[in-house]
Structure 1
Amino acid sequence: MKPTIRPILLLAIVLSSFVIPASKSPLANPFLGMWGLEIEGGGVGWLHVNEEKGFLDAELLWIGGSVLPVAHVYLADDNTLVVTRTSNSRKSDERTHVLTHTLRIEKSGESLKGTMTGPGRNGEYQSRFTAKRMPPMPEKPDLSQISYGNPISLFNGGDLTGWELMNPNQTNGFAAENGVLVNNPVQPENGEHISYGNIRTQQEFEDFNLKLEVNVPEGNNSGVYLRGIYEIQVVDSYGKPLDSHNMGALYSRITPDLAAEKPAGEWQSMDITLVDRHVTVILNGKKIIDNEPAWGPTGGAMSAEVLAPGPIYLQGDHGKVSYRNIVLTPVE
């Protein structure tokens, strides 16, 4: 008599024939996650590749400007990711060209390497870059338990001791005037354009609280960079709807919870805390950002090394602005 196979056992045998061995299972996309980009020539970028909405997508920061969604992203093969971003170039009132810039990225060990190509003024340009995965974001710190050291006055009111131009080939528009640090990047009415630069503290810092007062004339803007990585926006945005590009915002990343700006030309106070890559901003006595994570560098960052100490730097190439009473208190 032949042995019989129970129906349940038979079903298990049939189903097992469709199971893919672990060694042959499809691999997770190795590009998923957040990456800090170091761009050849000194620029910094940030790339976030995700499938959060059920499809492959990405956001990109390339040197300056805002973090923006890409035009398209796809896997060319198991080791190559292709990302495209577009911008508009208005040629005339009747004609606008769409410019396409393409990043071709390869996995290189635990890092990435790639190129950005696109239309330039004299043909195609190419920029090379490398990327490292961003470190995990720490838990939100309990700011009530933070201990601080001794306050450090970053501006003595009389000169620019402790500050230096970030690019020595540019012109410094900052000067000390009656106890105020004034930036006035005036262009000559006739003559060659002057390239004004940003200034930074010679000293570098880790986590801290930074207090200052700032005065922005109508239509002007500047920025305060924390550790040379994260820009707190300084701009005349009084009366405008809430936006991540307004006064006190973490530029292009965190929109203030409420509008606390004063009209242009008035002195305004900023109280900024950076602890464990989380940012708190109190503008004119009102908390507008409450211990929110800074996921990556902002446009104009000096470095993508978010765990490294860095300077305070002030934008000097955008417009007229004045600062005073700049005091930093480091976390112990």
Structure 2
Amino acid sequence: MNRKAAFLLGILASCALPQVTFAKHSIGESSHYQQDVEGKELIGRWDIEVDINGTPAPSWLEVKLSGYRTLVGHYVSTSGSARPVSQVFYEKGKFRFAIPPQWEGGKMNLSVEGEIVNGVLQGTITEPDGKTYRFKGVRAPELKRTAAVKWGKPIQLFNGKDLSGWKATGKTNQWVVKNGILTSPQSGSNLVSEQKFEDFKLHVEFKIPAGSNSGVYLRGRYEVQIEDSPKDAHPNAVLFAGVYGFLAANEMVNKGAGEWQTYDITLVGRLVTVVANGKTVISNQEIPGITGGALDSKEAEPGPIYFQGDHGPVEFRKVIITPAIK
């Protein structure tokens, strides 16, 4: 071998690729670590009912595994939006976590502690004002649909004349019908349909004044936000056309205060599509759980349509629902 050939072989040897060592853990082994984590029985979604001085109030919790052993989650209190839980601590069969206050009064953290007894989540919630309430929770249903949806005939939920088929939830009913328009002139009671529905397509036409806020609740549990959001605002889950606290619209399509606007919403199981002012802004996305202001946390049951009337003035002129048939 001449000197030139030996030199070239030396260069090739020095440039050889290093041996690649692959990780021992495969993607499919994540379930193995979940089996070993302490508090694994908490993992999942929970529909919660809080006893507030004898009156049931809905709440919701999701617990997830982050990495090998850390439990994290999201929590919906009896008011406000879904909030992240940075860590759920578990020791000797009991769990606890705390989150900063949101809309509640008081300066303390909201704290939750409890355990699972015979498959039921139970414990106490201490609000930022220091008041403590007991709760119970059951595992939330998946609400998966296996058969293709068949649609029935459209139903006019609002007849354009009066409040037939609707009921106010508060002590004072501010809702009136003027010139064929369903109107809430100021903050007051929410308005709930007497009929209940499971899967459906819903068409609503609405208008709000500057700075106002309302919402359309699907099955009485999942709010699609109506708000006078700035037209140049980056969409998020608490602004116009978002599913409150969970799903953001992919585009801000609010026409602005004083303009008639439309939502066409399809809800099948947990999957929702929102078409706002003719544009699809949420497409077949899963709603994880109830939103703040829900009537109850009984997600397995049919529920009504309800309009939020306790946040500001709002008007509706068409409310048409097409239920799925079995």
Tell me the TM-score range normalised by the shorter chain.
Answer: 0.7 to 0.9
Aligned positions of 1:258-273 closer than 5 A: 258-273=251-266
- Deviation per CA, 1:130-149: give whole Å up to 9, x if none: 0111123526x79xx53211
- Provide the residue aligned with 2:183 in structure 1: 182
Q: Which amino acid aligns with 2:82?
A: V
Q: Which amino acid aligns with 2:90?
A: L
Question: Does the 8 Å contact 2:143/2:300 carry over to 1?
Answer: no
1:82 aligns with 2:96: yes
1:29 aligns with 2:52: no
Question: Which residue of 216, 219, 223 maps to 1:231?
Answer: 223
- Provide the residue aligned with 1:11 in structure 2: none
Q: 1:288 Cα shift?
A: 0.5
Aligned positions of 1:1-332 closer than 5 A: 29-40=40-51, 41-54=55-68, 55-70=70-85, 72-77=87-92, 79-87=93-101, 98-120=107-129, 124-136=130-142, 138=144, 145-167=148-170, 170-185=171-186, 196-239=188-231, 240-332=233-325
Structure 1: stretches of 5+ with no match in the other structure? 1-24, 92-96, 187-195
Q: 1:59 Cα shift?
A: 1.3
Structure 2: stretches of 5+ with no match in the other structure? 1-35
Please give the alpha-carbon distance, in whole angstroms, between the structure 2 residues aligned to 1:63 and 1:304. Answer: 10
Question: Does the 8 Å contact 1:88/1:98 carry over to 2?
Answer: no
Consecutive aligned runs of 4 or more in structure 1 exceeding 3 Å deviation: 25-28, 88-91
Question: Does the 8 Å contact 2:107/2:128 carry over to 1?
Answer: no
Number of residue equivalences: 285
Question: Does the 8 Å contact 2:202/2:321 carry over to 1?
Answer: yes
Q: TM-score, normalised by structure 2?
A: 0.82
Q: Which amino acid aligns with 1:287?
A: T
- Deviation per CA, 1:163-210: give whole Å up to 9, x if none: 00123xx21121101010011126xxxxxxxxx211101111111000
Please give the alpha-carbon distance, in whole angstroms, between the structure 1 residues aligned to 2:242 and 2:114. Answer: 31
Q: Percent of counterpart pairs with the same letter?
A: 35
Please give the alpha-carbon distance, in whole angstroms, between the structure 2 residues aligned to 1:119 and 1:208. Answer: 38
Please give the alpha-carbon distance, in whole angstroms, between the structure 1 residues aligned to 2:65 and 2:37. Answer: 16
Distance 1:283 1:118, change over 3 A: closer
Question: Does the 8 Å contact 1:238/1:262 carry over to 2?
Answer: no
- CA-atom RMSD in angstroms: 2.2
Question: Does the 8 Å contact 1:88/1:99 carry over to 2?
Answer: no
Please give the alpha-carbon distance, in whole angstroms, between the structure 2 residues aligned to 1:253 and 1:119. Answer: 23
* Secondary structure at the counterpart of residue 331 of structure 1: strand
Question: Does the 8 Å contact 2:104/2:128 carry over to 1?
Answer: no
Q: 1:229 Cα shift?
A: 0.7
Question: Does the 8 Å contact 2:101/2:128 carry over to 1?
Answer: no
* Secondary structure at the counterpart of residue 30 of structure 1: helix
Please give the alpha-carbon distance, in whole angstroms, between the structure 2 residues aligned to 1:166 and 1:172. Answer: 8
Q: 1:238 Cα shift?
A: 3.6
* Secondary structure at the counterpart of residue 75 of structure 1: strand
Q: 1:323 Cα shift?
A: 0.5
Please give the alpha-carbon distance, in whole angstroms, between the structure 2 residues aligned to 1:106 and 1:90. Answer: 25
Please give the alpha-carbon distance, in whole angstroms, between the structure 2 residues aligned to 1:160 and 1:26. Answer: 54
Distance 1:89 1:210, change over 3 A: closer
Q: Which amino acid aligns with 1:291?
A: N
